[in-house]
Structure 1
Amino acid sequence: MAEPATRTRRPVRQRRRTVLTRGTSMLRRAPVTLGLLAGLWILAAATGSVLHGPSRDVAHNVSLGIASFSDGHAWVLWTSGLFASRLSEYLLATVVIVAVAAPVENISGSGRFAVSAVATQGAGAAAALALAQIASMVPNAWGLELHGHLIEDPLPWVIGTLLAATAAMPTLWRRRIRMVTVVFLVTTALFAGHLQDLTRLCAALAGLALGPILFRDRTHTTTLGGTIREQRTLVALVVAASVLGPMLAAFSPHAIGPLSALRELFGQVPYTARELVDVCADPTLQGECRKGQQALRLSGFGPVVANLMPAVVLLVGAEGLRRGRRAAWLLVTWGHAALIAAAAASIIVRITERDEARSLVYGVHRHGSLYQELAPLSALLAVLIVLLATHRLFDVRAPRGTYRHVFLTTVAAAAVALVVYVAVGSLLADGFDRDSGPVTLLRDFPHRLVPPVYLQLFDPPVLPSTTPATVLFEWVGVAVWIVFAVLMLRSFMVPVLGHSPADEQRVRALLRSPGGDSLSWMITWPGNSYWFSDNGAHTIAYRVHSGVALTTGGPVGDPATRAGAVDAFAAYCQRNGWTPCFYSVGEDLAVIAREHGWGCVQIAEETMIDLPDLAFKGKKFQDVRTSLNRAAKQGIEARWTTFAEAPLSVTSRIVEISEEWVADKGLPEMGFTLGGLDELKDPEVRLLVALDADEHVHGVTSWMPVFRDGELVGLTLDFMRRHSDGFPPAMEFLIASAALSAQEDGLEFLSLSGAPLASAADASDGDDRGALDDLLDLLGHTLEPVYGFRSLLAFKAKFQPRYRPMYMVFPDSTALPGIGMAVSHAYLPNMSFEQGRQLMSRILQR
């Protein structure tokens, strides 16, 4: 097999010249963008607004605000997008316009770009003013602040045109740009909350609505979303945004948004610790004493860090969600449930005590209101609903004992912290405001583990008054939180349940020598557990669903003793109360099954290309030769590589093509014997990529190795995707190129893999067909318009392959209902009820 080719490295000067040429060409095709950029600077110079923005008199005529619009200056909806508030904002706007607006105009075309710029700027500004007016009608500090704002900001029309242009982009980038942009803008609007934040968000939403209208001919429709990997990433992004928002507010004292209550943590502390002792000693100042204690408890860097530790843990949970971990879903879900309970309790306290200055969650508010706690509660509920609705996506479990270790280690860390707090605190007894003996410190220690913002209704047993005591008091609990966060992060990185590096090495060794069949490499995929024979000569990969041990292929190991391995595995399943089912196996195992009296049914057809005598000659190979000739004329080459060795430009394009294929199909992503992006990352899986002269990827195929006695003898096709706008016969070209390359390297065969529920022979030709065969044939016909397995088999027929039937083998026909459920779950493990309903709807509409 040829070594993976590496990208030819052009000289640095040539690459710079190429980048400069492309940048210049892009700007030449963006006349509207250049005109708006020129207008921005000309107006700034003409009005003297370059350094400090428009003057007061000018601002009233060009800046966006309720006051200026109410005076009849309707044009401020658009003129506000042609000014900025200071020199740094002008420079930032220039960079964003060149980097974002110019490429967007290249995608959209100048006419559509101009329409979207005018429409989204005007609609976004008008909607923001309407929201500001509505907010100002409700008694709250945010509405009062918005009512007096006057802003200048060129970013709304840039963001609006970007979101409108996503309707013309490939599926992956369309979804990612929309999700990242909207989540970021919603977060800034809810937490920072200034008028320009609202305007940017409204302009983005206007762009989302306008895009499908402007690009009706290019708009993609997605029914069921993208891959599981992408859906997990998007949910993790939502959770991360909900976590980072409060952190943004906490470190932004000027935040005014409806969810910016954490800014109050930076309030001024009215007394020092020593002064507060005197205040609390006066019985007539008990109310003042309580307020001072609350303010002192929340002041300083330590309490702020302690208050943010739950957010840090939830951010760690978001990383676990991205990896599909079940424990991360439980952590984030229960974390949000706890925050909702705390917010609800705070609202109850406000209502029952009729004291809007007190809050269980947010301490003392300078501008307190019940509204300030209802808004965060609503946001938490929204995230919790998203988590509950997507729970099927997070099914990756850690090995047994992982979270027992996390729990015990966290408890041990808390015990050490307790000992340190009591021992060192006793030595620093003079550093506290009252008696701080071991009993008092022991009673206070549970408070150290709770972020101080949640302790507003509880009087502190003790408060520090010196620096050493303050450090001990504030940071001993933070240390325990940090230990827990680190342990949880590490737990999301351990191998998944059922995965053992040692077992994987044994499996790969058996796959090399003596070797398996053409599809055996699939047993290395995630989700499989492994059974090994007593002598270690055989392994079988399986997964258990609905009481059925469903195998991935047959035994891998010594062919001479394969029947004994089948018997031993069946006995192993019987001991565990499982029904064994050998899935996707060849004729040899079907013969063994029939001898045992087991049931056997054909479920797929594998296509094999024998390489020694292969020659793409004659009329029957006309399509194949045409693809090779067209590729040569258009400068497209087939290049071998691996996912790890391929440049970022290639791997990112592969991900984009895959996401586009899945999303535009509008179907649940299938697994089990159908590989996806995760399976490409195996270092022993080769990729053959169709690249043009500009290194653009037109199509990609992946090839699994087949070994016999340690020697590579064949390759098996798994993953194949073509870009919708790429080289049309990319798949024919790549498969033909792989066959010629493998033939040159002396390999024996290529397998084009199996096509489920499809057969080269017509159903009517069978003389010995049972009811189950007829049912599977009917199912294949039913699913054909949706998944196209039979069309795939017909495509592979272009290469004149020989056909190898593949079977499902089972001991008893009474187990077929359970086997059917197991197979369905294996192929569609994350399909929700709603996805199933939509899938059936699509089938019935055909």
Structure 2
Amino acid sequence: MNKVSFLRRLGNWLTSPRVLALLIGVGGIINVVGVIAAPHGSRRMRMVLDVFSPTVVGLASVATAIVGLVLIALSTGLKHRKRVAWWLAVAMVVMTVLLHVVKGFDFEQSIAGLVVLALLVAGHRHFTGIPDPRSRRSIWTTVILAPLAGITLGTVLLTATARTQAHDTTLVDRIVETVVGMVGISGPVVFIRPHWDDRWFFAMLMIGVFVIITILVALLRSPNGPHSLHPDEENELRSILPMNPRIGSLDYFATRRDRGVMVGASRRAAISYRVVGGVSLAGGDPLGEPGQWGEVVDAWIAEANRYGWLPAVLACGEEAGRLFADRGMEVLHLGDEAIIDVADFSLAGRVMKPVRNTVNHAKRDGVVVDCLRAKDLSALEVAEVRTRADEWRDGPVERGFSMALGRFGDPADGECVLVRARVDGQIVGLLYMVPWGKDGLSLDLMRRSPQAPNGVVESMVTGLVDWGRDNHLAHISLNFAVLRDIFQRGEELGADPVTKVAYNVLMFLSRFLQLDSLYRSNVKYQPRWQPRYICYEPGSLIEVAVACLRAEAFLTLPSFGRRRRQSRKWTELEATEQNARREAGARDGQDDDSDDRVSSKDATRAVGKDLPGVAAAEAVTKGDGTPVGSKDELQGEAAKAADGEAGNESGPGKAGDKAVGDKAVGGEAGNESAEGKAVGDKAAEKGAAAGGNPEASSSEDRGPSGPKAD
């Protein structure tokens, strides 16, 4: 009985998509290498030439190499359970079996091909993936353009080497030569020297091979995001969020508009995800009633299987992790999220002395902090924050997926909280928090000026906690520490050898990713740690890890055009404001107040054009005639904020509003206490991911913002 069970498990393993993909890929490599390294003078080859002509043997060898390349391309589709990849693999393996006999009596390779063919047939039930409807346009585009590109290339090459051809060769002859040559047939072009005929035959054949592989890649490639979140879907998602009595700190990030959403049949649970490189990557826990999570998770996994995607989850909690584990997914501890319980937080005591000293030092340097809801920001303030966030960003793109919102200044996010640290009226630090239920906040974005004095981040964190007490907050989610337990146990006396090796590896990587500084920027606040997990199908960890890095924008293509557009956008904004003030100041007969109102009003109108959700009406005047967001109003608010901060500076925690270390790995500059700089974006902090998006513009112009966890 045990033997039968073992054989059944072995059979299931051998016919699994992953093993079959590996066998097909290795078989393709053997085909190519076997043709290149084939012995031409062996006894077996002489026997082959006694049966087949040299032309047939040569064609069989070339065809074997081509089939090998196709098999290598098909291995990815098999890994993703694509049905069309299975059909093509069966056809290619049958051809391989025959070609190995013809090209050299390689019976051992033919027998191996028959074994693989039997395994493919036995495992056919696993290959159910159909093309995603979003892929059809790109597939048909490739099917049409790839052959045209190949024909054009071949024709151009033949035309450029016309001296090697007969004088009466026409353009039509060259086109026909390319078309038939791409499928391995000699065409009408007559070459002056015989050896040129063989060379051009091989060249045209290679063009045909690359055209076929290009079409296969397009046919088997899974479409990537962003998956636009439609307004009606976002509204339904927002109505589902409060249905969970234990709403998670990452739930609000599900409203990112570059994610898709699947809502359960009960309409009381949902899951937010994005397809990246053939991986259906969900961020955080499912949403809504926990009792309804199973239904929507099953539907999400079924969709992934239907389209040949690999389901995976980034930064879920323990309850959701158990749910995914029950469905056969592997669960790996990714790190811990730092959470401050407002009621228990205090700067008093010996353990908090470093933070307390840093905050007091920042006070002496003139750092003041204010906190306000996003709905209370004027258009000019929104534009200013975006400008500073863009200037202080570390790197060409915004990072983030699972723990970053990816927008700023949208009217739908009115309950978000902005924290600003100022020195002499100039902003030197920013912190952007999203709602965590009704009594909490979760860090989305952190930026600080490179010239900011030491202690800006600590001042903002402690100031945020004080503001939270006044506004009845219970908890605040800060940064994410990747593999925190290794950092903690690696520093302990008597740590085991495995932990020490892992600790040393992470310390080495921290030179590039600031993993250690993320952990230290969190631990100084003595937070409560909440574990976060990554879930994936067995054997898919590498693909899922790559998908996570791509989603968090740690692996990305160059985006020079987008960066130039963003830089030009902010340059034009600043130039508009300066020109408006210069023109207003040059007008004769107008007092300073009038100048301020005119210039600020013009600048605000200019800003309002590019602010999604902030209408141009934001620049109209208030009842007293002062323009909203005008210089007069901002100066008054700044003075009030400064007075309020001065009155609060006697308390140990009132020096700075809520600063948190950046949630991004490789973030902008992060904490800055004597213990080391904390990271830049919260996005990276929460998982070696990166900062939030300061732009609220279209998703095409916006890079994803950084996650709380990577």
TM range (shorter): 0.3 to 0.5
Tell me which protein shows more helix as a share of its residues.
Answer: 1
By relative contact order (CA 8 Å, sep 6+), the higher-ranking structure is: 2
- Bigger Rg, structure 1 or 2: 1
